[in-house]
Chains A and B, each alone.
Chain A
Amino acid sequence: KAGVTQTPRYLIKTRGQQVTLSCSPISGHRSVSWYQQTPGQGLQFLFEYFSETQRNKGNFPGRFSGRQFSNSRSEMNVSTLELGDSALYLCASRGTGGSNTEAFFGQGTRLTVV
């Protein structure tokens, strides 16, 4: 069974640009969550999608958005990039077993804003 796949693995963008990251969950998983990981801050929750609906959103500005498609693949978009957006962006998928089940992480997309 293939794991969670994130593309691209690395990105370098300039301040003010926008970026789109992609996440393909484990086959059959309908819940996809996104996290931002920075040194010293751990993993911070961005948002969670289930069956194409955003069910939960973390405390991030509106420049961060996402969506989920009918095949459960998800994208997140960051507009008007700032230097502080440089981070590892991780997505995680869960099956249909409920919120207290294991979240499987992808390898992440390393975004560098210059």
Chain B
Amino acid sequence: GENVEQHPSTLSVQEGDSAVIKCTYSDSASNYFPWYKQELGKRPQLIIDIRSNVGEKKDQRIAVTLNKTAKHFSLHITETQPEDSAVYFCAANDQAGTALIFGKGTTLSVSS
């Protein structure tokens, strides 16, 4: 079945720096790759997603890139702010297309 690896597990940056989180997946049939942000004690919320017919997508300070050949996708956050501090999860849909398989998460800390 699908397996998603996420790196790094923790990331500390200074306010204003960029942060990059990388994920790899195993199932070439996956065609949907969302990123979720989970603040402490809160539910995961979608921040950006990308489908396999697109190589890059940007939304203000957040961008995601997808390389289907290499089976990896990355989240880029520019001009980080303290409120970006949270756990970020990448995911890919499984072959049946009914489940999201998540990476183990990256704890991002932005210090001012």
Contact = CB atoms under 8 A, between A and B. Distances in A.
Contacts of A43: 44, 89, 91, 100, 102
A7 interface: no
Contacts of A31: 98
B104 interface: yes
Interface in B60-112: 89, 91, 93-94, 96-105
A108 B41 CA distance: 10
A99 B92 CA distance: 11
Q: Which of A33, A50, A103, A104: most chain B Cβ within 10 A? A: A103
B100 A55 contact: no
Measured as residues with beta carbon below 8 angstroms from the partner, the interface class of chain B is: 20 to 34
Contacts of B104: 40-42
A106 interface: yes
B26 interface: no
A75 interface: no
A100 B1 CA distance: 17
B93 A100 contact: yes
B45 A105 contact: yes
Interface in A7-56: 31, 33, 35, 40-45, 48, 50, 55-56
B98 A42 contact: no
A104 B43 CA distance: 9
Contacts of A100: 31-32, 51, 93, 97
Nearest to A40: B104
A33 B91 CA distance: 14
Given A31-B98, A105-B45, 7 more contacts: A43-B89, A45-B101, A48-B98, A90-B44, A99-B32, A103-B34, A107-B42
